Amino acid sequence: MAIATPAADPGELLAVRDVTKSYGAGPKQLVAVRDVSLSIREGEFVSLLGPSGCGKSTLLRLVAGLSRPTAGTVLYRGAPVLEVNPHATIVFQTFALYPWLTVLQNVEVALKARGVAPAGRRARAVRLIDTVGLDGFESAYPRELSGGMRQKVGFARAMAVEPELLCLDEPFSALDVLSAEALRGELLELWLNKALPTRAILMVTHNIEEAVLMSDRIVVMAKNPGRVVTTIAVPLHHPRRRQDTAFQAIVETVYAAVAGRTRPEAETLAQAGKRLPRARLNALAGLVERLAGEGGRADLPRLSADLVMELDDLLPIVEAGELLGFVRVQEGDLLITPLGQAYADASILTRKELVAGRILRVPMINWIFETLQQDDDRRVDRDFFLERLRAEVGDQAGEQLDLAVSWGRFAELFAFDGRTDELFLET
């Protein structure tokens, strides 16, 4: 008698079932992921989010069939993945382009590897390069391209294989803040307009806002051993706006899940005053680190004494920390928030992104950033800002603008050029 198997879900592309992957054996054995299950349906954009070392790349390799699970199964369209999965392609953080080949040749190589006849290769490569927005750069060499453009060539090359399942391993984390944001927008546009030959996307990231911005579902992972903690749906329409309350609410939920804590009180950056607290962000960074080092809670007056700082000097830093959502004050104690903890745990690059994402929601910073972005050459006279600020804050305008510039520079968003007296966008 045939044993009835549960009817396969026809829309399901990928099913990872109770997968464990260990490296090595004996006492040196390392469990990279344990008992992980997840599935992806056609049309879905799923993010795998978690700290470094929680097994995200390991999972992608299993999905792509580049390695086998120690236990459990990986099914692709219902069939076990036992060799390299021809339907899934991985785009890595820094895509290895051949430096001696042009952009066009780099893409053609992928088509050749896929067995596309020479006659069709060139036209298809040109079309792919056009799709990712690099038309005009066909004959450029990788070294002539910015990081963002090189990553686009990586996307074009991955597309050449026409993967049903596109796996992205931290595709934006090697880029500067602005290039990353631009490239996220472009990828989303291609995906949402169905301009890609791709049915689903599985993206690995450790950037929470990126996950909320792009995906339909976020699979949150933790490490030691790598495992799935929870899955969070992102039921927001595109285009998504980081400053929207609903967006923020999901970001906070995800932070709480990542940090394993309860949801913090709603943060109201946009409602904060039109004045920046008189604090340098590197001082705030130091404070957050210190607080994390003390287990997340410290007595304010003692902190002030320890740091040899008048409370009056410390409080603006605390205020900046509250504005960014990194700390909060309770009964004379300073507490670190899950967001602050995430900051303290993050790499330098992630920290910059985190701060940039937060301060862009402070009205004054946002206004300066938007103004610069809308300008033709991304440079605007300092006096332009000063004049408008005077209407808001009177004779504090100069000090406020200097503070804003120092914040912008800290997050590598914008800076001041003393030779021309202009503010300009960092690239």
Closer CB to Mg ion, residue 16 or residue 372? 16
Nearest to 296 by CA among 253, 257, 266, 338: 338
* Cβ at position 191, least distance to ligand ADP in Å: 22
Helix (H) or strand (E) holding 259: helix 245-259
Closer CB to ligand ADP, residue 30 or residue 270? 30
30 binds, among ligand ADP, Mg ion, none (CB under 5 to 8 A by kind): ligand ADP
CA distance 177 to 356: 8
DSSP of 338-391: HHHHHHHHS-HHHHHHHHHHHHTTSHHHHHHHHHHHHSTTSEEEHHHHHHHHHH
CA distance 114 to 66: 17
CA distance 205 to 208: 8
* 424, β-bridge pairs: 379, 415
* Cβ at position 93, least distance to Mg ion in Å: 8
Closer CB to Mg ion, residue 56 or residue 121? 56
* Cβ at position 251, least distance to Mg ion in Å: 22
By CB under 5 A, name the binding residues for Mg ion. Answer: 57
260 binds, among ligand ADP, Mg ion, none (CB under 5 to 8 A by kind): none
* Cβ at position 385, least distance to ligand ADP in Å: 41
Closer CB to Mg ion, residue 57 or residue 304? 57
By CB under 6 A, name the binding residues for ligand ADP. Answer: 23, 30, 32, 50, 52-58, 226
142 binds, among Mg ion, ligand ADP, none (CB under 5 to 8 A by kind): none
251 binds, among Mg ion, ligand ADP, none (CB under 5 to 8 A by kind): none
357 binds, among ligand ADP, Mg ion, none (CB under 5 to 8 A by kind): none
Closer CB to Mg ion, residue 102 or residue 173? 173
DSSP of 90-105: EE-SS----TTS-HHH
* Cβ at position 80, least distance to ligand ADP in Å: 21
Q: How many helices (H) and strands (E) are present in the chain, helices listed first? A: 15, 16
Cβ-contact 138, 132 below 8 angstroms: no
Closer CB to Mg ion, residue 56 or residue 184? 56
Closer CB to Mg ion, residue 217 or residue 223? 223
Three-state DSSP at 214 gives: helix
96 binds, among ligand ADP, Mg ion, none (CB under 5 to 8 A by kind): none
* Cβ at position 169, least distance to Mg ion in Å: 6
CA distance 136 to 200: 29
* Cβ at position 225, least distance to ligand ADP in Å: 9
Residue whose token pair is 């605390």: 318
CA distance 411 to 352: 5
